[in-house]
Amino acid sequence: MRKIFVSSDHAGFSLKKSVLNFLAKKKFNFTDLGPFSSNSVDYPFYAHNLAKKVKKNKKNIGILICGSGTGMSIAANKHRNIRAAQCFSVKSTKLSRLHNDANVITLGSRLISKNNALKFISVFLNTKFEGGRHLRRVKKI
């Protein structure tokens, strides 16, 4: 069974709350890994914690949110078998799944609207990896 793990830093906390509500309404199986307030935190802790959870099962998915999406992406991608993609459009989100088999989406709360973030998450969760020639490339990562 696929599990979705969600985390943020203080800059992404408000958007994370909206994401959690969205996932609950859609009846997805998810876990909030914190933080649980908007107090200042260090994003690498949350990215590393989420990456460890996601890589336990190939079906798991992660959603990371910080101010830009960049820091979370860099930290999560330090983990073997994590393919975190910073998404900023429907097309970049769709391609991250189709061609890269991304298993973590990172979002910049200061760069995209709440509506776009929820749209990107929906695309991410509903797009399957194409495999084929892309599998050969993903295996080289």
pLDDT of residue 120: 98
Give residue 130's pLDDT.
87
Can you point out the beta strands (E) in 9-50? Answer: 30-32
79 included as an active-site residue: no
Angle separating helix axes 114-126 and 13-25, nearest 10 degrees: 50
Looking at 10, 79, 99, 134, which residue is catalytic? 99
User: Residue 132's pLDDT is what?
Assistant: 86
Query: How high is the pLDDT of residue 68?
Result: 98
Q: Is 10 a catalytic residue?
A: no
- Match 């992660």 to its residue by tokens: 62
pLDDT averages per 10-residue partition of the chain, 141 residues = 95 98 98 97 98 97 98 98 97 97 98 98 96 88 87
Domain residue ranges of the chain, discontinuous segments joined by +: 4-139
- Catalytic one of 66, 79, 87, 134: 66
CATH topology of domain 4-139: Ribose 5-phosphate Isomerase B; Chain: A, (3.40.1400)
